[in-house]
Amino acid sequence: MVAKLIDGHVQALLLYREIAAQVENFKAAKGYTPGLAVVLVGDNPSSQIYVENKRKACAQVGITSQVHHLPKTASQEEIIRKINTLNADEAIHGILIQLPLPESIDGLSVISAVAPHKDVDGLHPLNLGLLFMGRPNLIPCTPLACRHLIKSVLPSLKGKCAVIVGRSFLVGRPLGVLLSFENATVVQAHSHTANLVEECRRADILVVAAGSPRLITKEHVKQGAVVIDVGITRGTDSKGSKHIMGDVDFEEVQEVASYLTPVPGGVGPMTIAYLLQNTLTAAQKS
Ligand code: NAD
């Protein structure tokens, strides 16, 4: 078996079209455009690339965007003051804090300062709590992206075994909740899981969000499983060229999986598409 590719760019483009049409309708009805503010602290090169990609994506669907770049020396109070200004700004419907923040900053305090109705990353404790209680408001973008990609090839998850490698509050845990609401049986594996191969081999759907390049090989994957690779690790090869590695050994796993996402070009583009969707949703609810 050679796995079919789940193309994140194609899926994202389809969603962009729907969002752009809805943004047009929104503008016609309200007379203003949905607005996103991105807060970037410091000069992490990867974060700068992500922020630029988000800015371009907003422009593609007609969402207004602003980038607020604070120096890496900015204090927690300064960051929260900036967020408070954006919370009060009626032209801004979504606020995204680009992660990671510098180590000296308490991320939870900063995320909690975002008004929950503008929290387009879905990471505010209130929004995560609502999600866990089955009454979601704004849901984190990467889990939404994973669910979308899975359902593009497997419309019903009822009774399927979904194994998620990773239990971060950003990806693994909220995704576990989403898939459990889809009536999948969810196994949450992590760095202390006793036998990762055995757990993974049970999966009809295997999602890997560990940040550990090529952690998942052929032996982890049941014949015919759907495999979603969330991992992004930036590296440099022996010739000095930069590249991005996923958590799945693509060449090996494509021999046994039925469907597989590439890295890059899988979960990444879809995550940005859901940031746009969440910004539109926040504007519609405002
Ligand atoms: P994290 O470091 O917060 O969490 C990693 C999780 O993986 C932890 O729960 C840990 O227990 C588990 N883990 C680590 N090594 C493991 C191992 N060897 N075996 C089993 N479990 C292991 O990371 P995160 O924020 O959840 O991100 C995970 C990966 O996904 C990173 O590579 C990140 O860059 C990527 N990511 C991609 C997108 C995207 O849009 N494509 C979005 C968010 C994160």
How far is ligand 1, taken at its centre, from the CA of residue 134, in Å? Answer: 24
Q: Is the CB of 268 under 6 A from ligand 1?
A: yes
What's the pLDDT tens digit per position in 172-183? 999 999 999 999
Task: Give the pLDDT band of residue 1 (cuts 50, 70, 90).
Answer: confident
How far is ligand 1, taken at its centre, from the CA of residue 60, in Å? Answer: 29
Would residue 121 show up in a list of annotated catalytic residues for this protein? yes
Q: Who has greater pLDDT, 239 or 26?
A: 26
Residue nearest to atom 16 of ligand 1 (CA): 191
- Mean of pLDDT over the chain: 97
Is pLDDT of 128 > 90?
Answer: yes
Would residue 237 show up in a list of annotated catalytic residues for this protein? no
Does an H or E element contain 97, and which? strand 94-97
What's the pLDDT tens digit per position in 219-245? 999 999 999 999 999 988 778 888 999
Q: What is the pLDDT of residue 121?
A: 98
Is pLDDT of 164 > 90?
Answer: yes
From 111, 190, 274, the mutation candidate for ligand 1 (largest count of ligand atoms within 8 A of CB) is 190
Q: Is the CB of 231 under 6 A from ligand 1?
A: yes
What's the pLDDT tens digit per position in 59-94? 999 999 999 999 999 999 999 999 999 999 999 999
Q: What is the pLDDT of residue 106?
A: 97
- Catalytic residue from among 121, 204, 247, 249: 121
Residue nearest to atom 8 of ligand 1 (CA): 166
Q: Is the CB of 146 under 6 A from ligand 1?
A: no
DSSP 146-203: HHHHHHHH-S--TT-EEEEE---TTTHHHHHHHHHHTT-EEEEE-TT-S-HHHHHTT-
Would residue 247 show up in a list of annotated catalytic residues for this protein? no
User: 10 Å Cβ neighbour count for 74?
Assistant: 19
Per DSSP, 102 falls in state P
SS3 content of the chain, % helix, strand, coil (to 5): 45, 20, 40
DSSP 237-267: -TTS-EEEE-SB-HHHHTTT-SEE--SSSSH
Give me the domains of the chain, ranges plus CATH numbers: 30-117 (3.40.50.10860), 141-268 (3.40.50.720)
Secondary structure class of 20 (helix, strand, coil) = helix
Q: What is the pLDDT of residue 152?
A: 98
Q: What is the pLDDT of residue 285?
A: 95
Q: What is the pLDDT of residue 111?
A: 98
Q: What is the pLDDT of residue 242?
A: 85
Q: What is the pLDDT of residue 144?
A: 98
Is pLDDT of 109 > 80?
Answer: yes
CA distances from 265 to 87, 180, 230 (A): 33, 26, 10
Q: Is the CB of 8 under 6 A from ligand 1?
A: no
Average pLDDT over residues 96-103: 97
Q: What is the pLDDT of residue 34?
A: 98
How far is ligand 1, taken at its centre, from the CA of residue 211, in Å? Answer: 4
- Catalytic residue from among 11, 22, 82, 98: 98
How far is ligand 1, taken at its centre, from the CA of residue 65, in Å? Answer: 28
The percentage of residues in the chain with a pLDDT greater than 90, rounded to a whole number, is 96
- pTM greater than 0.95: yes
The percentage of residues in the chain with a pLDDT greater than 70, rounded to a whole number, is 100
From 168, 188, 244, the mutation candidate for ligand 1 (largest count of ligand atoms within 8 A of CB) is 168
Residue nearest to atom 22 of ligand 1 (CA): 191
